[in-house]
């Protein structure tokens, strides 16, 4: 298992506040995203990732989001094994995001 690239919620917020255009994919289930998503994120439940590979940039950074960081890390590992270069995990997921000051 290769180490996954990571980004903290503070780093992500800083980049979004700076107006950077980022690829964000939320891999939580439908009932979870009903409680809110990070602006600009695409909803792609983890189980759909293998069928939706054509929607994910292969050579650009893509930040994956879930509730706590576990499922998004799984997505990153899966994509890295397929040769995707920029799969990045949001450390702490939405639990950390909602606790940003």
Alpha-carbon distance of 3 to 70, in angstroms, equals 13
pLDDT, tens only, 25-63: 999 999 999 999 999 999 999 999 999 999 999 999 999
Q: Tokens representing 58?
A: 């292969």
Query: What CATH number did the domain enclosing 55 receive?
Result: 3.40.250.10
Roughly how many angstroms between the first and final C-alpha of the chain, as a whole number? Answer: 34
Which residues have a catalytic role annotated?
66
Give the pLDDT confidence score for residue 1 in this predicted structure: 58
pLDDT, tens only, 71-85: 999 999 999 999 999
Mean pLDDT of 22-27: 98
Decide: helix, strand or coil at residue 25: strand
Whether the pLDDT of residue 2 is over 90: the answer is no
Q: Which domain holds residue 17?
A: 5-97
Domain count, the chain: 1
Element of type H or E holding 24: strand 23-26
């Amino acid at each position: 298992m290769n180490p996954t690239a990571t980004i903290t919620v503070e780093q992500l917020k800083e980049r979004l506040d700076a107006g950077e255009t980022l690829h964000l994919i939320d891999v939580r289930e439908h009932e979870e995203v009903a409680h809110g998503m990070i602006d600009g994120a695409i909803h792609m439940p983890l189980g759909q990732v293998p069928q939706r590979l054509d929607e994910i940039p292969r050579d650009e950074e893509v930040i994956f989001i879930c509730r706590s960081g576990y499922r998004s890390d799984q997505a990153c590992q899966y994509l890295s094994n397929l040769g995707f270069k920029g799969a990045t995990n949001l450390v702490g997921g939405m639990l950390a995001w909602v606790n940003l000051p």
